[in-house]
Structure 1
Amino acid sequence: MLEERDPPPDPAGCRSLDELAAALRSLKAWAGDPSYDTITRRVNAGFAPAGRGTVVDCFRDGRRRINPELVVAVVASLHDDDVYLARWRQAIRVTLAEREAAANVRVLAGLPSDANSFVGREPHLASLERAAGVCVITGMAGVGKTQLAVHAGHRRTGETKLFVDLRGFHPDESQPPAEPGAVLDGFLRALGVPARQIPHDLNARSALFRDQVAGRQALVILDNAADEEQVRPLLTPDALTLVTSRRDLSGLGPATRIDLDVFSSREASELLSGATPSEGDRAAVERVAQRCGYLPLALRVVAGQMAATPGWSVADHADRLDERHRNQRIDDGVQLALQLSEQGLPERRRILLRRLAGHPGQDLDVYAAAALLDAELDETEEHLRRLTAEHLIQQPVPGRFVLHDLVRAYAADRAADEERPADRQAALTRLFDLFLYAASAAMDALHPAEKHRRPELEPHAVRAPDLSDPKAALHWLDTERATLVAICLHAARNGWPSYAVRLAATIYTYLDNGGYPADAIAVHSEARHAAARSGDLAGEANALVNLAVVHWQLGRHPEALEQLTEALALFRRLGDGRGQARALGNLGVVHNVFGNHEASAAHHAQALDQFAEIGDRVGEANTLTNLGDVYLRMGRPSDAADHHRRALALFRDLSHRGGEATALTNLGDADTQLGNHAAALDSYDKAVAIFGELGERYGQTCALNGRGEALSAAGRSEEALTTFTVALGTARLIDDPSEQARAHAGLAALHEAAGDTEAAARHRPPYPLDAVVDVPPT
């Protein structure tokens, strides 16, 4: 009789790339542990997946990205079963979605508003007054960990303060624990570090964060932490860091520790007495506190209800709690308090509370709430004010509203039980309309010359803020960035594909200029998949180009080449001239990186003809300067200079400052090769100034390196040394290896010419891991 074989390992439940790799190793062992060479032969013979990576890479821990097709091919080589492969595809999709969502986080450059009703906790506040280094505040959900940390933070003065909700225990699976790298990105931006100076590597971001905090009086609150691994990269010895969590986080090592319990009878009485007169009825106050389990969140909800019903005595509230407890047999204090509070709300306010729980983002403003409720702003503001007063929602900063995790979970359950799916769907559709049309208006204000490149929207009335002023538009985009990304992901995965496709395309330039590659990859990847599933070939092709640009910027050139080639085929199938031109131009850029200059020039020339034919002057100008760069690499500086001058004239005519600075930099490069050093230096200086106004450090670095080369060629060695040193410092700050190498080469050549071989050697590979050079103002 044959022995029954165990089933292969199930990949369901994997939530990280390391967990996927572990499941794959288990499958390899289950399949008889074939060698990696054997698996590679099977993959190459039967599946031949496209893209980057090797078979061995799929089994390794510590990967920051994977090739999904290759992983599926490896699985198929070990157990070729359609149902099993489908489970792996779903597991990979979920894992990548987790990573994308985890990178979506909002940080505050300051603290949330302090609670007006804060009471008690005197011993804990005293401990926090004396604390230094790391302080861990632990306790059950709803016990008041966040309020204690925030209240203690507000009592400290003269400090740099940062706050983030790490979402360690969010009830919505689409809001997983925040990725430490994304938190550091937010912290660094809040501290004034330009986007281009923020490195991609987690360790480098941690180091830069420690450098930025050094010498400051700083307070960092890491709220709602999932585990030690999430927290460690965010710690710095020069700040008091308050960490709140439902877990003890004992692995963090030496730290001040506060284990927060429910309120004492005295503290509960003090909180409830602040909501309604209770003199002479201490027994009723104690009954309310007991029924709430002395849990601060439940007590605050009931206190809000007391304040909203001035005709009721404390005994009335106690009797109602007792009655509800007997009839419903509800033992959980929070559940009981929330149910009673919600049932006492007017119907429209109850609907709003439930719909707030369905909002995909972390917080929202009155416009978003009005869209969910389908109400005017005045009515919505009143509902939000009353819900805040009754402690059913929170307002951490003026104008932004959030739900506590427990309230969100309760309201979501009530919505699922008591609202028609069609009504909830209509509410989210109005919300998505708001963000799509507001984002379009904001981008029109910021980049009017590129309006024709964004999706054209049908006229539609939405209640949205006035975003016609560029400063207001940028502020709105910065404030709502996390929500825009969350909406893209939610829409793509839950039946609104066209919203995901159009919104991702609308905010493409904002994410690109702002230096948000993780967000860009997330939204464009989801837009691509959503478009493919719905048969939207144009949307899929545009998303592929947008995704390719991000991959090119991150140095992932093979992925960019593959995506652009696929996009070009789709655009040709559709007969889309503008799309073809854009794909061709970007293919020219990627081929130039690979050193395929003839192919690059041919692609750019085709793109230039297409852009000129359809009258896309922005595309024409971009392609002219890109083609000029290729000609320069081909040893044709005169042709390069001619193209850059034509591009410069177009950019100036379009008032496109970023394009103007890029064309000036490239013109400087051409003039340097032609020996026109004075003209080159004039172009570089103008470019550096414009890039400085725009906060564009990458462009500044390129222009500075070019300036150093022009000065060196002109025999002005001391000035060249200074310029290359500044360029090296900025290239290190933005973590750009190619511009670092360019600056090193310039410095090495200058030192060699001066006879200082030792100094020259320091600027030849492998470069020493010395400290970042101080960068003087430019």
Structure 2
Amino acid sequence: MPTEFGLLGDLQAQVDGRPLDVGHVRQRCVLAALLVDVNQVVQVGQLVDRVWGEHAPTGAHATLYSYVSRLRACLAPADDVQIVRQSGGYLLAADAASVDLHRFHRLAGLARTTPDAGQALRIFEEALGLWRGLPLAPLDTPWANGLRDALQRDRVAVDRDRTDLALRHGQHAALAPYLMACVEEHPLDERLVSQLMLALSRCGLQAEALDQYDRLRRRLADSLGVDPTPELQRLHTDVLKGDTELREPTGSVAAGEATMPRQLPAPPPHFAGRAHELAELTRVLSVRDGAALSVAMCAVGGTGGVGKTSLALRWAHDNLASFPDGQLYVNLRGFDPGGPMTPEVALRGFLDGLRVPPASIPADLDARAALYRSLVAGRRMLILLDNAHGMEQVVPLLPGGPGSVVLITSRVRLGGLITTYGARWLGLDVLDGEEAHELLARRLSRQRADAEAASLREIVRRCGGLPLALSIVAARAVMQPDLPLDAVTEELREEATRLDALNAGDLTADLRAVFAASHHRLAAAPSLLFLLLGLAPGPEIGLAAAARLAGLPPTRTRLLLQTLQDHHLVQQHRPERYRLHDLVRLYAADRAHRDQPADLLAAALRRLVEHYLDTAQRAARVLDPQREPVAAGPAPTDETAGEFAGQPEALAWFAREHQMLLATLEHTVAQGLDRHTWHLAWTLETFLDYQGHWRDWAYTQRLALDAARRLDDPLRQAHAYRSLGLAETQLGLLDDAYDNQRRALALFGELGDEGRQADIARGLGWICHQRGNWAEALDFNQQALKLYQHLDQRPGQALALNNLGWLHVLLGEHRQALAYCAQAVAVHQEIGDAHAEAGAWDSLGFAHHHLGEYAQAVRCYERALDLVRGFHDRFNEADILRHLAETRQATGDPEGARGCLEAALSLLQQLDHPDAPQVRADLDRLGGSP
């Protein structure tokens, strides 16, 4: 005999009729959890939840592993059963018919579709005979208790169906005593009372039948304050008239009446892209042939308008052959203005599709769901639940047994389906550029798409790949064939009119209305955060910044952001980094200005600006400890912000927030926050220089200079001129750089700031060096060195010494150069400025090279590279590599030289630096250009 498992009573396992000891209660629960989904992978997290619920112990995964190992040993005598580890979980491979639970569902479905009444009754009896008592006894976990309740409802539904069939075929006399006992146990079950009334009436006991109705009526009035259903009232009338012999009993479909529902809407007429997503749906919703038909479930989630329904319908129509027993579809209207559909109404639509007579559909939700589960049990059907609002809608619509596939679409994350019911999750993002272009072009004539190709590309870009937005534009174009696409693009270019342009005249084709449907489902706290995020400058936001924007602790903000993620209004694309689609952002900003007080919005944005400024100041101090503060900035406000552990951490923060800081700077300009503008630009200087973002550096300093002028602050103006001149020097704009540095020198002279004058003199020396005027450069650096020595500024002295050494090399005075560079290295090591020390080693190597001391030069350059790479200073790394290449070539190592130049060229190309063509030419001369 094969192995047999029993879940419909005490949990049992036996081989050849001999019971197997499958261990203690927890271990038995693991077995039950695998048997319920036999031949399917049950994820480890699901197993933990089923076995322990919310009280999983520390190390639950390890404990689970030991239980599985012991179960394998217990099941060793069963050669037709195997527990295997697969894709993050476990699968129990066995014949589904060996598990009484699955056999029950298969037999119930078969009985309902068997046309021969006698045979159908025998099958019903066989199915009900599998029950030995309380299912899953003695397991006591939330999962087991919930499944036990569902199974008992299924058993009751099957028993009621069997009774209806038996009554239909004249077995009322035998059934009457049984039904009397059942009514005593379930006195408010209207279907059961109707069956008893019918049996009594057909036995000639009209008075007793009427008495049963009267008792039920009083119970309903006393307990629930309602009357019997219209169907039961009609039966009461029939009993009074003695007209019950030919009446069709309340219950389910008569045997043989089951139909093949075809409820799917038409496939989307214009569908593009999504090849990966369609393939993924096919993978996760595949149904295996044979006795063990799988229940597969997938939830497709994404923001409103991203194309969830189109994807689901496209896949459904592509795979109709996989569902020979039909397809059920319901639009649950999860985000309609009128509110979501109730599961009772959805089930009514399903039961209508399954040809259940209206009078036979129970009013009670549980009874209606049990009837539905019974009808789809064992059938290979597709059940498409579109636009779900939440678990409370979906769970009553899930089949109770194997065979069917469930595909769900929703704007919210239905996490409970994954953890409790083993559903797969498919998050849907916007279309990429090529797919979006294809979707739009398909809606237009090929001639028009080709003629207005430039406008088409801009529309695709402005719609951000959102299918609904693209479809709305296409609809407008089709309805107005004489309207040039350029007129649409003009509306889309302006943020103020973009959402108005994405409106085709009804709620389903109005992007603002679609977003509003998701937004209006939010509670007050996540709703306010959503609106504030729409105003936040920059393409994304970190958790700490979002918390300051909201004025809430990070832990509370994380929960609110999770809610917004669940509604697909916000995407967490990296750990603790969040972003909104551009069109969603526009909607949120628009609603914020309409719905919230201006002072509330201003205060939130002010907190965000101060967060970025506070954190940037801390990071800048770590990045360049030798850099002295300038003027007093806005007082720190973020008391919870921590310090950075070191330069790599500070650099990483700046790299993450680079675009947000630039956008915040522009926001401070627009809001007239001049002091914030100037100080934020000042904090960015070192990072932008190190990373070679010199255009950004120049841009931020021009904003800072304008702010300093509005503040009428000569000190801030002087610093802005100095920093702008340095950025222009790096960009090769030497004339502008020289002029701005001279302006800075004059202002610092008026202020009597000798230290800054020394800095400016050194900067002017570098400009003169770039111009090839080495003698003037030498003069400027000597002036700087004297000022630094007078002020005993050791960092400045080291920089000036390094510059003087470099210039002496250029002037051919190599021994003097070595002396200056060696002093510079020593001072930098003394003060601990590793970044500047790298420059001194580079100069020292350059001097050794020109003295023909190539081995010493190589050592110096390699030391310089080690130091500069720790700061991710790409330009100076490239410069040192070029010097090292020259030395490698001088020593007869062309391959080594080529490797250095290729690495330098790659860095300069990343920076879009004007020196890149020269390095490429140098490579060509070596005979190798990448």
d(CA) in 2 for partners of 1:289, 1:662:
62
Q: Is the 1:489–1:522 contact (alpha carbons within 8 Å) kept by the matching residues of 2?
A: no
Question: What is the deviation of 1:744?
Answer: 6.7
Letter in 2 for 1:600: A
d(CA) in 2 for partners of 1:448, 1:409:
41
1:281 and 2:346 matched: yes
1:488 and 2:650 matched: no
Q: CA RMSD in A?
A: 4.5
d(CA) in 2 for partners of 1:416, 1:130:
40
| Corresponding residue to 1:447 among 624, 644, 648 | 624
1:564 and 2:741 matched: yes
1:624 and 2:689 matched: no
Q: Is the 1:360–1:487 contact (alpha carbons within 8 Å) kept by the matching residues of 2?
A: yes
1:729 and 2:902 matched: yes
Q: Is the 1:665–1:683 contact (alpha carbons within 8 Å) kept by the matching residues of 2?
A: yes
1:410 and 2:587 matched: yes
d(CA) in 2 for partners of 1:704, 1:466:
34
| Corresponding residue to 1:655 among 823, 828, 832 | 832
Counterpart secondary structure, 1:568: helix
Deviations 1:15-43 (A, max 9, x none): xxxxxxxxxxxxxxxxxxxxxxxxxxxxx
Judging changes above 3 Å, is the alpha-carbon distance between structure 1 residues 413 and 676 closer, same or farther for their aligned structure 2 residues? closer
- Look up the match of 2:306: 144
- Look up the match of 1:379: 556
Q: Is the 1:493–1:530 contact (alpha carbons within 8 Å) kept by the matching residues of 2?
A: no
Moved more, 417-426 or 657-666: 417-426
Question: What is the deviation of 1:510?
Answer: 1.0
- Look up the match of 1:538: 715
d(CA) in 1 for partners of 2:518, 2:914:
58
Letter in 2 for 1:476: W
What percent of counterpart residues are identical? Answer: 26
Q: Which structure 2 residues correspond to residues 668-683 of structure 1 after superposition, within 5 A?
A: 668-683=845-860
Counterpart secondary structure, 2:578: strand
Deviations 1:464-517 (A, max 9, x none): 355334443332222111101111122123211211211111121111112222
Which gives a bigger RCO, structure 1 or 2 (Cα 8 Å, sep 6+)? 1
d(CA) in 1 for partners of 2:781, 2:643:
39
Counterpart secondary structure, 2:757: helix
d(CA) in 1 for partners of 2:589, 2:638:
28
- Look up the match of 1:636: 813
d(CA) in 2 for partners of 1:545, 1:505:
11
Deviations 1:230-264 (A, max 9, x none): xxxxxxxxxxxxxxxxxxxxxxxxxxxxxxxxxx9
Judging changes above 3 Å, is the alpha-carbon distance between structure 1 residues 728 and 436 closer, same or farther for their aligned structure 2 residues? same
Question: What is the deviation of 1:441?
Answer: 1.6
Q: Is the 1:692–1:700 contact (alpha carbons within 8 Å) kept by the matching residues of 2?
A: yes
d(CA) in 1 for partners of 2:785, 2:636:
32
Deviations 1:392-442 (A, max 9, x none): 333233322223334323332232233333322221111111111111222
Question: What is the deviation of 1:525?
Answer: 2.2
Counterpart secondary structure, 1:450: coil
d(CA) in 1 for partners of 2:274, 2:608:
44
1:772 and 2:929 matched: yes
Judging changes above 3 Å, is the alpha-carbon distance between structure 1 residues 465 and 691 closer, same or farther for their aligned structure 2 residues? closer
d(CA) in 1 for partners of 2:578, 2:881:
45
Question: What is the deviation of 1:283?
Answer: 8.7
Counterpart secondary structure, 1:396: strand
Q: Which structure 2 residues correspond to residues 688-727 of structure 1 after superposition, within 5 A?
A: 688-692=865-869, 694-696=871-873, 698-707=875-884, 716=891, 718-719=892-893, 721-727=894-900
- Look up the match of 2:353: none
The structure with the larger Rg is 2
Judging changes above 3 Å, is the alpha-carbon distance between structure 1 residues 690 and 396 closer, same or farther for their aligned structure 2 residues? closer
- Extract unaligned runs of 5+ from structure 1: 1-118, 132-140, 153-263, 292-298, 308-328, 748-761, 774-778
Q: Is the 1:442–1:468 contact (alpha carbons within 8 Å) kept by the matching residues of 2?
A: no
1:602 and 2:783 matched: no
Counterpart secondary structure, 1:427: helix
Question: What is the deviation of 1:142?
Answer: 5.3
| Corresponding residue to 1:433 among 602, 610, 623 | 610
Judging changes above 3 Å, is the alpha-carbon distance between structure 1 residues 383 and 693 closer, same or farther for their aligned structure 2 residues? closer
- Look up the match of 2:678: 501
Question: What is the deviation of 1:360?
Answer: 0.8
Letter in 2 for 1:646: Q
Counterpart secondary structure, 1:507: helix
Judging changes above 3 Å, is the alpha-carbon distance between structure 1 residues 673 and 533 closer, same or farther for their aligned structure 2 residues? same
d(CA) in 2 for partners of 1:472, 1:507:
15
- Look up the match of 2:758: 581
d(CA) in 2 for partners of 1:653, 1:351:
53
Deviations 1:704-724 (A, max 9, x none): 5544555677xx4x23x3443
- Look up the match of 1:687: 864
Q: Which structure 2 residues correspond to residues 216-255 of structure 1 after superposition, within 5 A?
A: none
Judging changes above 3 Å, is the alpha-carbon distance between structure 1 residues 693 and 476 closer, same or farther for their aligned structure 2 residues? closer
Letter in 2 for 1:368: A
Counterpart secondary structure, 1:391: coil
d(CA) in 2 for partners of 1:438, 1:732:
34
d(CA) in 1 for partners of 2:708, 2:864:
39
Deviations 1:188-238 (A, max 9, x none): xxxxxxxxxxxxxxxxxxxxxxxxxxxxxxxxxxxxxxxxxxxxxxxxxxx
Judging changes above 3 Å, is the alpha-carbon distance between structure 1 residues 456 and 495 closer, same or farther for their aligned structure 2 residues? closer
Deviations 1:57-81 (A, max 9, x none): xxxxxxxxxxxxxxxxxxxxxxxxx
TM-score computed with the length of structure 2 as normaliser? 0.46
Q: Is the 2:330–2:346 contact (alpha carbons within 8 Å) kept by the matching residues of 1?
A: no
- Look up the match of 1:478: 655
Letter in 1 for 2:736: E
d(CA) in 2 for partners of 1:440, 1:416:
31
Question: What is the deviation of 1:451?
Answer: 5.2
Letter in 2 for 1:538: L
Q: Is the 1:632–1:670 contact (alpha carbons within 8 Å) kept by the matching residues of 2?
A: yes
Deviations 1:584-639 (A, max 9, x none): 21111001111222221222122223333444432222222112222222232233
Letter in 2 for 1:772: S
Judging changes above 3 Å, is the alpha-carbon distance between structure 1 residues 287 and 672 closer, same or farther for their aligned structure 2 residues? closer
- Look up the match of 2:693: 516
Q: Which structure 2 residues correspond to residues 20-59 of structure 1 after superposition, within 5 A?
A: none
Q: Is the 1:434–1:462 contact (alpha carbons within 8 Å) kept by the matching residues of 2?
A: no
d(CA) in 1 for partners of 2:928, 2:888:
26
Q: How many residues align?
A: 481
Deviations 1:128-163 (A, max 9, x none): 5899xxxxxxxxx953169999xx9xxxxxxxxxxx
Q: Is the 2:884–2:900 contact (alpha carbons within 8 Å) kept by the matching residues of 1?
A: no
Q: Is the 1:361–1:482 contact (alpha carbons within 8 Å) kept by the matching residues of 2?
A: yes
1:554 and 2:735 matched: no
Question: What is the deviation of 1:570?
Answer: 2.4
Judging changes above 3 Å, is the alpha-carbon distance between structure 1 residues 333 and 739 closer, same or farther for their aligned structure 2 residues? closer
- Extract unaligned runs of 5+ from structure 2: 1-264, 280-302, 315-326, 351-383, 390-408, 418-505
TM-score computed with the length of structure 1 as normaliser? 0.54
Q: Is the 2:335–2:518 contact (alpha carbons within 8 Å) kept by the matching residues of 1?
A: no
Question: What is the deviation of 1:578?
Answer: 3.1
Counterpart secondary structure, 1:361: coil
Letter in 1 for 2:722: V
- Look up the match of 1:398: 575
d(CA) in 1 for partners of 2:788, 2:597:
49
d(CA) in 1 for partners of 2:624, 2:328:
59
